[in-house]
C-alpha cells in the first residue's frame, strides 16, 4: 500500500505558522515513507472562502519548499459528489430533517436528563411525515442530521466494534456517541466538512490522515461515516498544535503570524522550517 497523505486547508484567510506545521508534518511523513503528499482545497463555505486566499496558500507552501501533484481538488467544484453521499445516507434512512433553531436545540439539551451531556441526541418527538412535507413546502430552514440511534440499528453489533489505528496510540475504539446527532448538511449548503472529507479521502486514496489534535474528537464520527458508506478507514495521527508566546493558538485574524506577512518581510523560509522542527 502506497503511503498517501494530504494537507487540506480552507481558504478563508491566510495561512499561519500552525498551518505551516500541519502541512510540513504531513509532507515530511510522506517524504520519509517514500509516498505522496496531496494538497486539497476545502472551500465548501463559499461565503468565507476566497480565491485570493487560495492563491496565497499555493504561494506560501511553494515558499516553504513543499510540492504536490496536480490538479488540486477544489471542493466547491464537486458539490454534486457530496449530494450523492447525502442521498445514500437518506436512502438508508440514517439522516433526518431537523427544523429546530440553535436556541431550541440548546433548550432541548438543557431539558435532557442529568449527565447525558451537552450535545443534541435527537428530537423529543419526531416530526410526522405530513408536518415535515408541509414545512419543506413552506420553505422553512432545516439541517440534515445523522441519527446515531438509526446508525446503531443499521450496523447492529458493528456499531460498538468500530476501530481505527492511531499512529501514536495504536488501535482505538471509534465511539461517535459523545458528538450526538451531528449536522451533515443544511438546506442552503448541501454538505458539511464531515461528508466532504470522508468522501475525498477515499476518492484520493488517502492512507494516512495527519492533522491537528483539535480534530481528534471528530475521528470517531468520520470512522462511522466510512463504515456506513463502505469506505476504507485511513490510519490517523493527530499532531500537537503550535501556540504563540502567550500560549494561544495561532489564528487567521492575527496578521503578524501569517506566512504571507513573513514572506513580505523577507523572512527566510529556512528559518520558518527550523521553527517547525523544534
Domain-by-domain residue ranges, the chain?
A: 1-76+243-278, 78-195
What is the residue-level pLDDT of the chain in tens, covering all 278 positions?
A: 699 999 999 999 999 999 999 999 999 999 999 999 999 999 999 899 999 999 999 999 999 999 999 999 999 999 999 999 999 999 999 999 999 888 888 887 777 664 455 788 888 778 888 899 999 999 999 999 999 999 999 999 999 999 999 999 999 999 999 999 999 999 888 899 999 999 999 999 999 999 999 999 999 999 999 999 999 999 999 999 887 676 677 766 666 579 999 999 888 888 888 888 86
Query: Which residues, including other chains, have CB under 8 Å from residue 273's CB and lie 6 or more apart?
Result: 24, 64, 65
- According to CATH, the superfamily of the domain at 1-76+243-278 is HUPs (3.40.50.620)
Look-up of cell digits 504531513: 26
CATH of domain 78-195: 3.90.800.10
Question: What's the rounded Cα separation, in Å, for the pair 252 and 13?
Answer: 6
Please list, in sequence order, all residues whose beta carbon lies within 8 angstroms of the beta carbon of residue 212, skipping any fewer than 6 positions away: 18, 22, 238, 239, 240, 241
Instruction: Find the DSSP H helices in 14-92.
Output: 17-33, 51-63, 79-91
Looking at residue 49, the DSSP 8-state letter turns out to be: -
DSSP 143: E
How many angstroms separate the Cα of 137 from the Cα of each of 131, 164, 183? 10, 42, 21
pLDDT at 121: 83
Question: Matching CATH topology for 1-76+243-278 and 78-195?
Answer: no
Amino acid at each position: 500500500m502506497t503511503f498517501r497523505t494530504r494537507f487540506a486547508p480552507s481558504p478563508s484567510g491566510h495561512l499561519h505558522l500552525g498551518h505551516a506545521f500541519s502541512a510540513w508534518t504531513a509532507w515530511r511523513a510522506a517524504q520519509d515513507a517514500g509516498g505522496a503528499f496531496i494538497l486539497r482545497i476545502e472551500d465548501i463555505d463559499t461565503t468565507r472562502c476566497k480565491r485570493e486566499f487560495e492563491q496565497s496558500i499555493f504561494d506560501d507552501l511553494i515558499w516553504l519548499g513543499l510540492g504536490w501533484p496536480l490538479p488540486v481538488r477544489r471542493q466547491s467544484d464537486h458539490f454534486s459528489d457530496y449530494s450523492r453521499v447525502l442521498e445514500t445516507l437518506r436512502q438508508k434512512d440514517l439522516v433526518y430533517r431537523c427544523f429546530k433553531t440553535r436556541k431550541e436545540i440548546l433548550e432541548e439539551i438543557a431539558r435532557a436528563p442529568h449527565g447525558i451531556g451537552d450535545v443534541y441526541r435527537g428530537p423529543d418527538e419526531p416530526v410526522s411525515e405530513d408536518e415535515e412535507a408541509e414545512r419543506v413546502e413552506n420553505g422553512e430552514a432545516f439541517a440534515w442530521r445523522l441519527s446515531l440511534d438509526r446508525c446503531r440499528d443499521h450496523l447492529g453489533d458493528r456499531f460498538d466494534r468500530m476501530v481505527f489505528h492511531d499512529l501514536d496510540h495504536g488501535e482505538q475504539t471509534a465511539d461517535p456517541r459523545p458528538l450526538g446527532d451531528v449536522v451533515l448538511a443544511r438546506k442552503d449548503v448541501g454538505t458539511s466538512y464531515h461528508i466532504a472529507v470522508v468522501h475525498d479521502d477515499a476518492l484520493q486514496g488517502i492512507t494516512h490522515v495527519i492533522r491537528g489534535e483539535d480534530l481528534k474528537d471528530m475521528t470517531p464520527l468520520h470512522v462511522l461515516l466510512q463504515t456506513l458508506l463502505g469506505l476504507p478507514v485511513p490510519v490517523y495521527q493527530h499532531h500537537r498544535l503550535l501556540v504563540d508566546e502567550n500560549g494561544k493558538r495561532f489564528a487567521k485574524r492575527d496578521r503578524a503570524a501569517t506566512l504571507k506577512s513573513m514572506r513580505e518581510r523577507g523572512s527566510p523560509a529556512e528559518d520558518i522550517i527550523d521553527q517547525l522542527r523544534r
